[in-house]
Amino acid sequence: MSRVTQLTAADADAMLLGAEFFGASIAGHHLEHFRSWLREVLLRRGPVPVVPPAELPAETQCAAIGVAGSMIAVVELPPSGDEPQGVAAALENQLDRKLGAVMAMNAATINALLPVIAAAELDLPIVDCDGMGRILPLISQTSYTVAGLPLTPMTATSAVRDQMSVVAEAQRAELLVRAMLNTAGGWLLCGLYPTTARQLVTGAIEGSISRVVRVGRVLAAARDRDHILRGLGSEVGATWLGGGQVVEVGPSGKRGAEPNQPANPTTVVVRERGSSGRVIRIEAQNELLLAVVDGVLVTAVPDLICLLDRNGLRIQGLERTNVGDEVDVLMVPAAPVWHTPAGLALAGPQAFGLPVRHPKEPVE
Amino acid sequence: MDHRWPAGSRIGVGMHRDSVTAALVAEGSQLGRNDLPLDSTWQELEGRLAIQLRQLGSRARTPVESVAWELSDLLTPLAEASPVAALRMLPRAPVSDALAGQPSPLLHTLVGHRANVRGGHDLFGFELAPPDVTGAVAVARAAAEAGYPALAITASGAMGCPEHEQLAAEAILDAVPGLRLCLSHEVGGLGVLQREAAAVLTLALQPRIGELIGACERATASGAPAATAWFVAGDGGRLSAERLRTFPASALGSGGAAALLGAAVLAEQPDASVVLADGDSYGLGYVRSGLPYASSDVMEVDRMRLAIPQAVISPVAVPDVGQAGVLADGTGPALVVGLRSDDIAAARSFSERSTSETRLVCDADVVAVGSAVTEPSAWLDLVVTADNPEELERVRGTLADRACTLLASSGARPGTERIVSSTVSPLSFLRSGSYRVVLRASGSIGGAP
């Protein structure tokens, strides 16, 4: 796969589309102002180098930048524009060390864009990696955690300019951030996972920023549905699971809310047309967690399940999915780290309270 | 198939750029139609419109109960609307130029004067910063002094708690009487920029729509004295003259919504998928139980999504083999229509090339026919919290009552209100028990549908 070596203002459109794809569960929030912001920063500050972890000096101080919280909250309470560099500066103060590069917590939705903005404002490179390869609901559900990298010290800032620092174990930090979100307006921009480039060589999902841009270019150039499906197949190994009309969207009646997960469980049912008439049932809670076709589990988190709006040719998020919509259901395999026993323990179906094994999980 | 189209005699009027078409419809049948060129001054046109209505009314078996005007073509180009001022109330002012304004060049142009003051709530109505009412008044004074007659006020979290917008408005109206205001919570929807865009368009279109509505009301009073003048909304509902004067952006996109309905009426298919030929492009929409399939926030103006309900019409390519699955709605053939009379050839071409079963509807002005059968509608789009399913049902019930009250105030006849869609979506990455509730209510102006 081709590697992107720098990001310029001309990449803003592709960044936004690719970021929306990997944020499949919450796609569809209109983020035009983030595109404008990214473009403005890249025009003003110049291109941002995109560097693989192994090509940085080994002891380069790196940290992830990313939002924890809700996209609807971000849309209702937009950032002011100085949060990315502000949170990075606060983390530098806490670490008493300058950052040498910025990385993504997860290169998806606005969390693919904000690290680029931070890197541009701080005149730093962005590391071509992330910790999820998609969105996962918890800030501790990362390859960084799988690799044993500490989540804290972390800093966070809100839209009100509340500033917070947390030093805690990953699971405690998660709970503290969730508690703070409720009074901070629904989102916090975090600087977290301070580490070195050496650690990222093995602890990160490499190539994530390049992948966002490549997928975005596929979507930007798409003329029709077949073009999109073929492009996503070749760029990220996307598989078409089926497609048809959404016939049910509602609370999942089969399980209770997992107490450590925000939001509520939901079921989406897609019925195919034609003689096959297959039924695709998707279980969701924040994320699209698993897909069952005619009663057979075909894929599950941490693999990425996406709904492609057949008419609008855009990825359609869970919150925008309604009965009657025409969609294709796609699956993108997760990064290899997520199919390891440690990865599946952290982000597999059972981490979401689903009593099933991932199809790739070996039977004991 | 137990849907019944309105029984009374109604006239729908499609105001196209260069022509006006009126259709008389009763019980789902077109009883008459006539056309006028739109080539004279409004004063002359009013008289000719009145004659047109009178001629159509003479063919009705019962007195014409309403005349519904579809005006969306005459609201564009939006760039010619009157510039206004905009005030945001946020906990912190934007420091980035890109975040301070609107990303859409059109909306950027329409906001001639912009400022921020402190204030705002979160999604759930918790105050994040006290409102700077003094600052808001200063902004309003400056806007008025700079020659802007209208100010859009948008506070974060206003759908959860409109208090800051209201406090600012009260103080501004005391200090700068005569300044037209639009408060974002009045237009509704989620998203500060989205609501601001809708509020700006609302104010920018008011001068132009006022003249149009006046002409339509006078023509109705003269040509169909027993009828009330109504106006088609973008979701395929209808609005009173008073409501459209206040919220003119509600009429954007109403031509497409009326065309969907018109196609369904003419094909006698209250459930149908409809392909609209519009210039050199095609759009696909749906009619379900006699109402256009619509959503509360799909309207896009210059790539900016607005929190204004609109019929969902998605772009669709000229048909090929891969298109077959897209058109079929499972409820019959896809209907293919031209949005205007000069689009009929394109509609025919689509129908002939489609590999899906399609039915061409080309014997009438679908916009005028659809306008006639529109009914009042009301929407609510809110974030709510509920700790358990029972509480959620209670909240939903309360909101349904509120939607029906809104509908009654929009002119629906008491007893005809019904909730036609109610979606409850759990909100991702917020605390458990956070939901977005979108309700659509519809009623009838002429008794039980």
Q: Map residue B278 onto helix, strand or coil.
A: strand
pLDDT > 90: what percent of chain B?
Answer: 57
pLDDT > 70: what percent of chain B?
Answer: 94
CB nearest B317 (choices: A183, A224, A322): A224
Q: Is residue A213 part of a domain?
A: no
Q: How far apart are CA B233 and CA B375, in angstroms?
A: 10
Two structure tokens written together for B145:
């002094």
Q: Map residue B393 onto helix, strand or coil.
A: helix
pLDDT tens string B293-315: 888 877 778 777 787 899 988 77
Residue A309 has a pLDDT of 87
Task: Please indicate, yes or no, whether residues A49 and A167 belong to a single structural domain of this protein.
Answer: yes
Residue A260 has a pLDDT of 47
The yes-or-no verdict on residue B118 having pLDDT over 70 is: yes
Burial of B368: CB neighbours in 10 Å, binned 0-12, 13-18, 19+: buried
How far is the CA of B405 from the CAs of A162, A193, B110, in angstroms?
Answer: 40, 52, 33
Q: What is the mean pLDDT of residues B177-205?
A: 93
Interface of A with B in 7-36 (CB under 8 A): 25-26, 29-30, 32-33, 35-36
The range of the structural domain enclosing residue A62 comes to 6-208
Residue A364 has a pLDDT of 63
Mean pLDDT is lowest, of A99-103, B172-176, B219-223, B281-285, for B281-285
Output Rg (C-alpha) for chain B, integer angstroms: 22
Contact A47, A39 (CB under 8 A): no
Average pLDDT for runs of 10 along chain A of length 364 = 93 95 81 92 98 98 96 93 95 97 97 97 98 94 97 96 95 92 93 98 97 95 87 95 86 50 72 83 89 94 93 80 85 96 95 89 71
Upper half-sphere CA count for residue A315 (Cβ side, 13 Å): 30
Q: What is the mean pLDDT of residues B259-279?
A: 91
- The backbone torsions φ and ψ at residue A35, rounded to the nearest 5 degrees and listed phi first, read -60, -45
Query: What's the total number of domains in chain A?
Result: 2
CATH assignment at residue A135: 3.40.1610.10
Task: Please indicate, yes or no, whether residues A123 and A270 belong to a single structural domain of this protein.
Answer: no
The yes-or-no verdict on residue B155 having pLDDT over 80 is: yes
Asked if A75 and B330 come within 8 Å (Cβ–Cβ), the reply is no
Instruction: Say which residue the tokens 């349904």 belong to.
Output: B400
Q: How far apart are CA A54 and CA A50, in angstroms?
A: 12
Task: Please indicate, yes or no, whether residues A132 and A255 belong to a single structural domain of this protein.
Answer: no
Residue A261 has a pLDDT of 47
Closest CA to A360 of A333, A328, A329: A333
Q: How would DSSP label each residue in A145-203?
A: HHTT----SEEEE-TT--EEEE-S-HHHHHHHHHHHHHHHTSEEEEEEEEEEHHHHHHH
Q: B89 — contact with chain A (CB < 8 Å)?
A: no
Q: Last residue of some domain: A160, A191, A208?
A: A208
Asked if A286 and B315 come within 8 Å (Cβ–Cβ), the reply is no
Q: Which residues, 6 or more positions from B95, have their beta carbon under 8 angstroms from its beta carbon?
A: A80, A81, A82
Nearest CA in chain B to A320: B425
* Range from A113-127, B257-271, B335-349 that averages highest in pLDDT: A113-127
Task: Please indicate, yes or no, whether residues A77 and A192 belong to a single structural domain of this protein.
Answer: yes
Smallest Cα distance from B344 to chain A, Å: 22
Q: How far apart are CA B298 and CA B295, in angstroms?
A: 6
Per-residue confidence band for B242, with pLDDT thresholds at 50, 70 and 90:
very high
Higher pLDDT, A309 or B230: B230
Asked if A226 and B99 come within 8 Å (Cβ–Cβ), the reply is no
Residue A263 has a pLDDT of 53
Q: How far apart are CA B229 and CA B94, in angstroms?
A: 44
Q: Last residue of some domain: A208, A224, A249?
A: A208
B78-207 has CATH 3.40.50 classification: yes
Residue B344 has a pLDDT of 86
Q: How far apart are CA B253 and CA B312, in angstroms?
A: 10
Residue B208 has a pLDDT of 92
Task: Please indicate, yes or no, whether residues A183 and A285 belong to a single structural domain of this protein.
Answer: no
The yes-or-no verdict on residue B449 having pLDDT over 50 is: no
Asked if B288 and A324 come within 8 Å (Cβ–Cβ), the reply is yes
Q: How far apart are CA B187 and CA B379, in angstroms?
A: 10
Output the pTM of the full model: 0.89
What ipTM did this prediction achieve?
Answer: 0.89
Q: Where are the domains of chain B?
A: 78-207, 375-443
Q: Is residue A216 part of a domain?
A: no
A322 contacts on B by Cβ (under 8 Å)? 295, 423
Q: How far apart are CA A110 and CA B190, in angstroms?
A: 18
The yes-or-no verdict on residue B321 having pLDDT over 50 is: no
Q: What is the mean pLDDT of residues B398-416?
A: 91
Q: How far apart are CA B102 and CA B211, in angstroms?
A: 28
Q: What is the mean pLDDT of residues B74-80?
A: 87
Task: Please indicate, yes or no, whether residues A311 and A203 belong to a single structural domain of this protein.
Answer: no
Per-residue confidence band for B280, with pLDDT thresholds at 50, 70 and 90:
confident
